[in-house]
Amino acid sequence: MADKNKTETDTKITLPQGYQVFTYAAGIKYEGRKDLGVLISARPASYAGVFTTNRVQAAPVKLCRERLGFPIRALVVNTGSANACTGEEGEQAARRVAEIAEAEFALPRKSALSLSTGVIGTPLPLEKFEPALRAIASAAGAGNVNTPEDFARAIMTTDTVPKMAERNLGIANDKEIRICGFAKGAGMISPQMATMLAFIITDLDIRAKDLQCALLAGLGGSFNAITVDGDMSTNDSVILLANGASETRLCCREDTLAFREALAEVMQSLALQVVRDGEGATKLVTIEVTGARNTRDAELAARAIANSLLVKTAFFGNDPNWGRIIDVAGYSGARLCEEKMELFYLDRIIYAQGRPLAFDREDMIRKLAQTREITIRLDLGVGRAKRTLYTTDLSYEYVKINAEYTS
Amino acid sequence: MADKNKTETDTKITLPQGYQVFTYAAGIKYEGRKDLGVLISARPASYAGVFTTNRVQAAPVKLCRERLGFPIRALVVNTGSANACTGEEGEQAARRVAEIAEAEFALPRKSALSLSTGVIGTPLPLEKFEPALRAIASAAGAGNVNTPEDFARAIMTTDTVPKMAERNLGIANDKEIRICGFAKGAGMISPQMATMLAFIITDLDIRAKDLQCALLAGLGGSFNAITVDGDMSTNDSVILLANGASETRLCCREDTLAFREALAEVMQSLALQVVRDGEGATKLVTIEVTGARNTRDAELAARAIANSLLVKTAFFGNDPNWGRIIDVAGYSGARLCEEKMELFYLDRIIYAQGRPLAFDREDMIRKLAQTREITIRLDLGVGRAKRTLYTTDLSYEYVKINAEYTS
């Protein structure tokens, strides 16, 4: 799978053929910043998507689900209001935003999607979308496009950095296809089937059904493997578009695997960028659980450790407080064998056979203080299943951001 | 059930007949404070206990489980070391502490229990227990007992206040029995069957089997209804002793119910004292979930809300960010009906029929800032089951305490 060292934001990325992006300061919540992003495909794009499994789903998520299977030409993405818990009015607003975009860009009906993040429960200020989308359409007519980075910035909420990734893929018939992705999200991150918002676009020519399979294949190692605070959003959406502008199809099993791998790399890169930018985070923590009875148990233990406040505050304090990790594994519900468990901290084994091993604590604290990336591995000692998750530490700053981020 | 307004620490409590407490500065981890408490019953006491359901159990928990059913004469409680994850040596150490106490106080074999909390994974410094217990026994011989408050303070770790409660109970034959309880705990609080450490003693004459039933009956509304950080400890224990020194038995069903109610009140009082003293807590938050399909669903939703970082930081910020509560209910796994859900915040309905209701936000913020006790009620709109849990907000101070509390 992807090399973790390659997961920093790709700051200079090139859009695949046949896509353009636009941004605008619509004043939805924030003043003096771009808060609306529009992505246009010159051709109808095959569309795949995965969404939050929260039983409460935001209006834009409902709209995006309805349109699965339709060819898509436009994404309209706002920050500042999540359009969630807004009832029937919210659903009408999401549909209306898509309609305005379809009208302004002269696109077929139901070819636009509306996506939102921000505060839950505030109505979408529809009156601000019409002039904004008209201005964007007129800029587009004049050839004034924005850069991929502009787009990545326009969709941010509490994010501190824009999140982008790309891979280019030469396949069997010597043609090149491009995959390029954007994500936003820093808090309320504990996706099951998706994360906050991610958009991945490619110029590959592929059917929606095959596109959906490729998207699902990449989920387990990317958006479903991260957590910042254990809170699953009402708005999580990962949207994947393929507009075929490269005039290139996947002709053999090898091509398909190469595409899926490149796509999975883009997805994992975006997911890790979300964790790195986790609210208040000072560390990226990789939790590897091995030796589990089955995958469910490995997931249970890894997720409980990744979400434990005591574990996360210890990481913030550069404290190798391994006892908290053993404790969490114990209550996670996963089966374990205390006498066979092993815990590795920065590649050093520090607990085995039910008891702590001697280690140089001061040296470990020094090493922890010097690194922004920590890996711990816990072997449960009962089987062969494993699971890797990515999480953050928990800092004062997280509390500050979320106590002050006003509803 | 118990009146929540009566749950502040009872600072002046009287031990039931036939019990004495002693404390000592044994220097186990902290310097210059009492860190060892001993409770002695003049008669063999019926003994009931409930313990953590964590798969990793501390050595003292294993010892206390083994001795269920035995008549008990002594509890030896230390802070500073949890004697958890310490292997076979740890189990021997817990047994050895009990043996020393039995020898020094001339008690029958297996009549003492050893209980510990503190850092996980450090060996119990056995060499400090022998002189300490000898000194205590000699003080006891000279009639130098300590006060209940001394005992409650000696068992504290990150607690900021001692936790005690008592109820006196006149029953049918005009005799009086006393119930008196102690607890410690402020972090790693999310008990399932018990909390950190609680000791409840009574002079009632009752069989161990009936005592255990009474203890279990009180759990749901007390120790199993609280969470500070969602982390279940390896050491959670609730110990209930009844030494019969009042020469009084429960003679009818009415007496039994009266005893159970008084016991449940003591338990709830102690449990709420633990939450109020939750690490860094500035608020006691009561989460009432109603209208659930069944009790399991009500518990799922209430627990998810009570443990959500986003909900807890909003309480800290005095922000009526109700959208986060709806979001959490949505991912909790509980069945809900979005169109019938209702949310009450400080007794005001602010969300109904799938959309927010107008309310005076500034007034609500002012009210939240003025109170240390917040109640929210969420009706899931699908049934009649309900569950009430008690939790805290999440403050900078929680992060500070747990990033700095050294392993």
The answer to whether the beta carbons of residues A342 and A351 sit under 8 Å apart is yes
pLDDT at B5: 36
Range scoring the smallest mean pLDDT among A123-137, A222-236, A252-266: A222-236
pLDDT at A6: 38
DSSP β-bridge partners for residue B41: B19
- Residues in B closer than 8 angstroms to A395, CB to CB, are 399, 403
**Does residue A306 surpass a pLDDT of 70?**
yes
**Mutation to test the A interface, candidates B309, B365, B393, B404, most A Cβ within 10 Å:** B309
pLDDT at B236: 83
Tokens of B348: 């005001």
- Residues in B closer than 8 angstroms to A87, CB to CB, are 353-355
Tokens of B350: 């602010």
pTM of the model as a whole: 0.81
Extract the runs of DSSP E, i.e. beta strands, from A298-359.
342-345, 348-352, 355-356
Distance from CA of A140 to the nearest CA of B (A): 36
Q: How confident is the model at residue B356 (pLDDT cuts 50, 70, 90)?
A: confident
> Which range among A185-194, B170-179, B193-202, B281-290 has the greatest average pLDDT?
B281-290
pLDDT at B407: 54
The stretch A106-114 carries a mean pLDDT of 96
Please report the DSSP string for B89-136 in residue order.
Answer: HHHHHHHHHHHHHHHHTT--TT-EEEEE-SBTTPPP-HHHHHHHHHHH
Q: Which of B54, B326, B403 sits opposite A314 (nearest CB)?
A: B403
- Closest listed residue to residue B198, CA positions, set B63, B52, B59: B52
Q: Mention every residue, 6+ apart, whose C-beta is less than 8 A from residue A405.
A: A158, A187, B319, B321
Task: List strands edge to edge, sheet with B355-356.
Answer: B355-356, B348-352, B342-345, B373-379, B284-292, B385-392
Rounded Cα gap, residues A122 and A83, in angstroms = 7
Q: How confident is the model at residue A204 (pLDDT cuts 50, 70, 90)?
A: confident
Q: How confident is the model at residue B228 (pLDDT cuts 50, 70, 90)?
A: confident
- Report pLDDT digits (tens) over B120-146: 888 999 999 999 999 999 999 999 999
Scanning every residue of chain B, which has its alpha carbon at the shortest distance from the alpha carbon of A331? B54
Scanning every residue of chain B, which has its alpha carbon at the shortest distance from the alpha carbon of A404? B317
Indicate where chain A has its CATH 3.60.70.12 domain(s). 4-276
pLDDT at A79: 93
Distance from CA of A173 to the nearest CA of B (A): 46
The dihedrals phi and psi of A98, each to the nearest 5 degrees, come to -65, -40
pLDDT at A90: 94
pLDDT at A2: 34
Rounded Cα gap, residues A204 and A58, in angstroms = 30
**Does residue B405 surpass a pLDDT of 80?**
no
The stretch A29-53 carries a mean pLDDT of 92
Range scoring the smallest mean pLDDT among A84-93, A212-221, A288-297, A389-398: A212-221
**Does residue B56 surpass a pLDDT of 90?**
no
Tokens of B222: 């007390």
The percent of residues in chain A predicted with pLDDT above 70, rounded, is 95
> Which range among A169-173, B100-104, B233-237, B400-404 has the greatest average pLDDT?
B100-104
Instruction: Pick the more confident residue, A148 or A7.
Output: A148
Instruction: Pick the more confident residue, B192 or A272.
Output: A272
The percent of residues in chain A predicted with pLDDT above 90, rounded, is 56
The stretch A254-258 carries a mean pLDDT of 87
- Which CATH topology does A284-404 take? Ubiquitin-like (UB roll) (3.10.20)
Q: What is the ipTM of this complex?
A: 0.78
Please report the DSSP string for A157-179 in residue order.
Answer: SS-SS-EEEEEEEE-TTS-EEEE
**Does residue A203 surpass a pLDDT of 70?**
yes
**Does residue A11 surpass a pLDDT of 70?**
no
Across the interface, whether the CB atoms of A120 and B327 are under 8 A apart is answered: yes
Q: How confident is the model at residue B42 (pLDDT cuts 50, 70, 90)?
A: very high
pLDDT at B321: 87
Q: Mention every residue, 6+ apart, whose C-beta is less than 8 A from residue A296.
A: none
- Residues in B closer than 8 angstroms to A310, CB to CB, are 187-188, 229, 231, 402
Across the interface, whether the CB atoms of A406 and B319 are under 8 A apart is answered: yes
**Mutation to test the A interface, candidates B158, B233, B313, most A Cβ within 10 Å:** B313
**Does residue A110 surpass a pLDDT of 90?**
yes
pLDDT at B185: 86
Q: How confident is the model at residue A289 (pLDDT cuts 50, 70, 90)?
A: very high
- Residues in B closer than 8 angstroms to A82, CB to CB, are 323
Indicate where chain A has its CATH 3.10.20.340 domain(s). 284-404
Across the interface, whether the CB atoms of A87 and B396 are under 8 A apart is answered: no
The answer to whether the beta carbons of residues B19 and B46 sit under 8 Å apart is no
Range scoring the smallest mean pLDDT among A202-211, B7-16, B50-59, B231-240: B7-16
Was domain A4-276 assigned CATH 3.60.70.12? yes
The answer to whether the beta carbons of residues B401 and B187 sit under 8 Å apart is yes
Angle between helices A309-316 and A322-331 (to 10 degrees): 160
pLDDT at B6: 38
The percent of residues in chain B predicted with pLDDT above 90, rounded, is 56
Please report the DSSP string for A61-100 in residue order.
Answer: HHHHHHTTTS-EEEEEEE-SB---S-HHHHHHHHHHHHHH
